[in-house]
Structure formats: structure tokens, C-alpha cells
């Protein structure tokens, strides 16, 4: 069996793994990115809302709050610098009943505490001027929210990484690993079994586990990793439906958040096409097809803020799966970035539960990881 040795190994070429590889390569480190699929970014990173989140909803001082706000600022300036298609179109979080109007106040406070710029509550007449088709009593206006072409972002990040020497090894899953601690106080070495038809061994001093939906499963296959640091893992599918014509909105429209997600919202892609979703469907196994039977639930949710929506026109579009560290009914968990100070294994960094706002946070997550390695 072939045996290779590389200083830094990143598992998973989603937007987060690619951004980490780029950051490490820019610092002059030798990096390989191992990706199970035949192409980069084919899982959650290409199955999301492509929204650049402002950072409103997350508990103050959480990783999600901190990395979303700083990641968003970094992402806008990166997109401007590298001409990655994006649009700072702004978003409205709408209250459709009196109870939700009270909730808006709490959401606004949270966002302001997180340092989100420009948030304000706007009244019904102001809303009507912005979006005449919208039915709502009041809304939060978030001018910093935007949309991005996530594929172009990944292409650009990968180009930067490769230009700085990172190697992307596709169709090459990491199957298992073993931590070898070589003497007191010295570095541990991680040996990986890698590949499909002709597996090979790969030794590294630094492993970044950025395997998204499989990050927790991968950890279970790393011998000598302390079990007590393997979190519970859940999956919540988010289905999307699209409208085969232009919707009469110019901003992103979000209801007040629901358990497990942000509610069935309206987002626009870079071409102005509207899509609705994601809902929250707890699942046990990965399953991407969108069942058309869910359309009625979508129509009910959308009609609360767009009462004149044409009936029966929605079409099943696509779905993504949220890697969750909290189950149904539990409070939302934060991102986990686990390093030696937590689990005691030198040179191993695990990223787990990187659900939304992971796309927005990718550059900040990458800097955070690069600081810790
Ligand atoms: C429905 C939905 C909507 C979302 N909307 C937004 C949004 O609007 N804005 C936002 O900021 N965020 C959003 N997110 C979150 C965002 O999409 C994710 O946080 C981000 O894409 C995670 O990227 P990643 O690189 O961690 O994971 P992934 O993209 O899942 O990449 C992980 C990669 O690891 C590979 N892999 C797995 N196991 C192995 C192995 N053993 N060996 C080698 N490779 C392996 C996989 O093939 C995959 O390519 C959304 C997520 C969902 C599900």
C-alpha cells in the first residue's frame, strides 16, 4: 500500500474546507484537501439559500454570531475584490400578527447586540412603499443582508488555494484514522486510510475535519479519539420550491423564525428568480428528493405574507440537509470548532454542526482554524 505524508490535511471540499485550505496555503503551508465526491462543493455548500446573512438571530458571543458578522464583512470585501457575483439587496423579517410584532423587538435587540449594522423596525406604510404585494403589520429592515453565487465563490476560493500550492484530491474519501502519540509533550501524528479502489495511507501532523454531514461519523472512525468528545448528531432537511416566473419582490422576505430553521422565506437568486424554503424535516438518512406533497404546507406559509400568491404554481426545486448538533425541540446549538484544548489530541481540529450561517462565515471560520493549528 502506498504511503504519503503531508503537513496539513483538510477533509471535505465544501465552502468551509476550501476556505480553510486557502487560508493555510496563503500562509505558505503544505495542504492537501481530500474530497469524497468527484467534484468540490457538491453537498450542503451547493444546497442552501445562498444568502449572506447579517448575523441577527444568534445568541450574543456565540461562534455563530461572531463569525457570521465578521465573516459577512470579509465576504463582501472578498467578493468585491475578486468580482464574485453578489448583491447587497437587503432583507425584511415580517410580522404577520400582533404576537409576531412583539417578537420583532426581541430579534432587533439580538441583532444590535451582535453588532449588525443598520437594523431598524419599519411600519406598515414604509413596508408598503418597499414591497406593495407584501401583507405584514411591521418588519425589521436589514440592509446588510445579501445574496451570493456560492458556486462562483467556491471556484474563486479554490483558485486562490491552488495558486498558493494547495492540492485538491477528489473522489478520495477518508475511510478511517488512528492517532499515534509519539512520546510525552511531543506532537501526535494522525495516520489516515484514504481512497476508494486503491486505498493508501496518509500521515499528517494536522488534520482539519471539515466533512460537513459526515464530520461526526468520521470522528467515530478515528481510533483513540476520546469518545466523550463526539457530540450527538441529527439531520434536518430543508426543501425548496421555486416559482417559474418572477416574483413581485426586490428584497429577501423572511417570516419570524421557527424551530430548527428561519421559516419558509423568499430568496432571490442572482438572476432574480424566486425560490421559497427551506422548511424543516428531521430525517435519519441522507435523502435529497423534494416531495411535491409538501407544496400545500409551503403555500400556506407563503400566503401569510403574500396573500395573492398564484395557487398551484410552485415546483419542487432542491433540498439541503442541515448538520445539527441539537435535536427536535432542543435549543439551537452553536458551531463546534474542537481543538487540542478540548479533546487533547494535538493537531486535530473538528468542525461540527456547521449549518447556517456557515456559507456567510466561511472566511472567518478559515481564519479561526488557521489561528488554532
Ligand atoms: C437548507 C440550507 C440552507 C442554508 N442556507 C444558508 C444561507 O443562506 N447562508 C449561509 O450562510 N449558510 C446557509 N446554509 C449553511 C451552509 O450551506 C453550510 O454551513 C456550508 O455549506 C457548510 O459547508 P461545509 O464545507 O462545512 O460542508 P459541505 O458543503 O457539506 O462539505 C463537506 C464536504 O465533505 C465531504 N466529505 C464528507 N465525508 C468525507 C470523507 N470521509 N472524506 C472526504 N470527504 C468527505 C463531502 O463530500 C462534502 O463535499 C444553509 C444550509 C442548509 C442545509
Please choose from 17, 44, 86, 87 the residue to mutate so as to test ligand 1's pocket, defined by most ligand atoms within 8 A of CB. Answer: 44
d(CA 213, ligand 1 centre) in Å: 7
Q: Give yes or no for residue 358 CB within 6 A of ligand 1.
A: yes
Question: Grid coordinates standing for 292?
Answer: 411535491
* Mean per-residue pLDDT over the chain, rounded: 94
Residues 103-113: what's their mean pLDDT? Answer: 95
Please choose from 204, 212, 354 the residue to mutate so as to test ligand 1's pocket, defined by most ligand atoms within 8 A of CB. Answer: 212
Is 269 a residue whose pLDDT tops 90? no
Q: Give yes or no for residue 189 CB within 6 A of ligand 1.
A: no
Q: Give yes or no for residue 238 CB within 6 A of ligand 1.
A: yes
For residue 61, count CB atoms less than 10 angstroms from its CB and return exposed for 0-12, middle for 13-18, buried for 19 or more: exposed
Nearest CA to ligand 1 atom 46: 12
260 or 17, greater pLDDT: 17
Give the ligand 1 atom nearest the CA of 18: 25
d(CA 356, ligand 1 centre) in Å: 9
Is 118 a residue whose pLDDT tops 80? yes
Spatial distance between the Cα atoms of 100 and 145, rounded to a whole number of angstroms: 21
d(CA 355, ligand 1 centre) in Å: 7
d(CA 45, ligand 1 centre) in Å: 4
Give the ligand 1 atom nearest the CA of 41: 49
Nearest CA to ligand 1 atom 52: 48
Give the pLDDT score at 284.
Answer: 97
Characterize the bridge pairing of strands 120-123 and 138-142.
antiparallel
Beta-strand ranges (E) seen in 53-163 are: 86-87, 91-95, 120-123, 138-142, 146-148
Share of the chain above pLDDT 70, in %: 97
Count of CB atoms within 10 A of residue 109's CB?
12
Task: Give residue for cell 404585494.
Answer: 133
**Backbone phi, psi, residue 352, to 5°:** -130, 150
Hey, what domains does the chain have and what are their CATH numbers? 3-47+152-231+333-372 (3.50.50.60), 91-143+234-324 (3.30.9.10)
Q: Give yes or no for residue 355 CB within 6 A of ligand 1.
A: yes
Is 129 a residue whose pLDDT tops 90? yes
How does pLDDT run across 137-186, given as a tens digit for each residue?
A: 999 999 999 999 999 999 999 999 999 999 999 999 999 999 987 655 55
Give the pLDDT score at 77.
Answer: 98
d(CA 14, ligand 1 centre) in Å: 6
Spatial distance between the Cα atoms of 359 and 42, rounded to a whole number of angstroms: 14
Q: How many residues does the chain have?
A: 373
Characterize the bridge pairing of strands 31-34 and 167-169.
parallel
Cβ 299 vs Cβ 266: under 8 Å: no
**Backbone phi, psi, residue 9, to 5°:** -120, 130
Give the pLDDT score at 162.
Answer: 98
Closest CA to 323 of 335, 339, 308: 335
Q: Give yes or no for residue 35 CB within 6 A of ligand 1.
A: yes
Please choose from 43, 151, 325 the residue to mutate so as to test ligand 1's pocket, defined by most ligand atoms within 8 A of CB. Answer: 43
Q: Give yes or no for residue 15 CB within 6 A of ligand 1.
A: yes
Which of these ranges, 9-18, 242-251, 337-346, has the smallest mean pLDDT?
Answer: 242-251
Spatial distance between the Cα atoms of 109 and 241, rounded to a whole number of angstroms: 31
Is 260 a residue whose pLDDT tops 70? no
Residues 300-328: what's their mean pLDDT? Answer: 94
pLDDT classification of 259: cutoffs 50, 70, 90: low
* CA dihedral for 341, 345, 349, 352, sign (positive or negative): negative
Give the global pTM: 0.96
How does pLDDT run across 11-57, given as a tens digit for each residue?
A: 999 999 999 999 999 999 999 999 999 999 999 999 999 999 999 99
Give the pLDDT score at 187.
Answer: 62
Nearest CA to ligand 1 atom 2: 48
Please choose from 358, 360, 368 the residue to mutate so as to test ligand 1's pocket, defined by most ligand atoms within 8 A of CB. Answer: 358
Give the pLDDT score at 4.
Answer: 95
Give the ligand 1 atom nearest the CA of 351: 26
DSSP for 138-202, written as a single string: EEEEETT-EEE-HHHHHHHHHHHHHHTT-EEE-S--EEEEEEEE-STTSPEEEEEEE-SSS-EEE
DSSP state of 253: E
Report cis status (omega within 30 of 0) of the bond before 297.
no
Q: Give yes or no for residue 190 CB within 6 A of ligand 1.
A: no
Give the pLDDT score at 191.
Answer: 96
Give the ligand 1 atom nearest the CA of 51: 8
Residues 21, 27, 31, 37, Cα dihedral to 10°: 10
For residue 348, count CB atoms less than 10 angstroms from its CB and return exposed for 0-12, middle for 13-18, buried for 19 or more: buried
**Backbone phi, psi, residue 77, to 5°:** -70, -35
Residues 92-104: what's their mean pLDDT? Answer: 92
Helix (H, G, I), strand (E, B) or coil at 140: strand
125 forms beta bridges with none
Give the pLDDT score at 95.
Answer: 94
Amino acid at each position: 500500500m502506498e504511503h504519503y505524508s503531508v503537513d496539513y490535511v483538510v477533509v471535505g471540499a465544501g465552502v468551509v474546507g476550501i476556505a480553510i485550505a486557502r487560508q493555510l496555503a496563503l500562509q505558505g503551508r503544505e495542504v492537501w484537501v481530500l474530497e469524497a465526491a468527484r467534484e468540490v462543493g457538491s453537498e450542503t455548500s451547493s444546497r442552501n439559500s445562498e444568502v449572506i446573512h447579517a448575523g441577527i438571530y444568534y445568541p450574543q458571543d456565540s461562534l455563530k454570531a461572531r463569525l457570521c458578522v465578521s465573516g459577512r464583512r470579509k465576504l463582501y470585501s472578498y467578493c468585491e475584490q475578486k468580482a464574485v457575483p453578489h448583491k447587497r439587496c437587503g432583507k425584511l423579517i415580517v410580522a404577520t400578527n400582533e404576537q409576531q410584532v412583539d417578537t420583532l423587538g426581541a430579534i432587533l435587540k439580538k441583532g444590535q447586540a451582535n453588532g449588525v449594522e443598520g437594523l431598524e423596525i419599519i411600519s406598515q406604510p414604509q413596508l408598503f412603499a418597499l414591497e406593495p404585494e407584501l401583507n405584514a403589520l411591521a418588519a425589521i429592515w436589514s440592509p446588510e443582508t445579501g445574496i451570493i453565487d456560492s458556486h462562483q465563490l467556491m471556484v474563486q476560493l479554490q483558485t486562490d488555494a491552488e495558486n498558493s500550492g494547495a492540492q485538491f484530491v477528489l473522489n478520495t474519501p477518508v475511510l478511517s484514522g488512528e492517532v499515534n502519540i509519539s512520546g510525552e509533550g511531543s506532537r501526535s501524528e494522525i495516520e489516515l486510510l484514504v481512497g476508494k479502489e486503491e486505498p493508501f495511507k496518509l500521515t499528517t501532523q494536522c488534520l482539519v475535519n471539515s466533512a460537513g454531514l459526515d464530520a461526526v461519523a468520521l470522528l467515530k472512525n478515528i481510533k483513540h479519539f476520546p469518545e466523550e468528545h463526539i457530540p450527538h448528531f441529527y439531520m434536518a432537511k430543508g426543501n425548496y420550491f421555486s416559482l417559474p416566473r418572477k416574483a413581485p419582490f426586490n428584497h429577501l422576505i423572511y417570516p419570524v423564525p421557527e424551530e430548527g430553521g428561519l421559516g419558509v422565506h423568499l430568496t432571490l437568486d442572482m438572476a432574480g428568480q424566486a425560490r421559497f424554503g427551506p422548511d424543516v424535516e428531521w430525517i435519519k438518512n441522507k435523502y435529497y428528493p423534494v416531495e411535491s406533497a409538501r407544496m400545500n404546507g409551503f403555500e400556506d406559509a407563503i400566503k401569510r405574507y403574500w396573500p395573492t400568491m398564484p395557487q398551484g404554481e410552485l415546483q419542487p426545486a432542491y433540498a439541503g440537509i442541515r448538520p445539527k448538533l441539537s435535536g427536535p425541540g432542543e435549543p439551537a446549538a452553536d458551531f463546534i470548532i474542537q481543538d487540542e484544548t478540548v479533546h487533547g489530541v494535538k493537531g486535530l481540529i473538528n468542525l461540527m454542526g456547521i449549518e447556517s450561517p456557515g456559507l456567510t462565515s466561511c472566511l472567518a471560520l478559515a481564519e479561526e482554524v488557521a489561528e488554532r493549528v
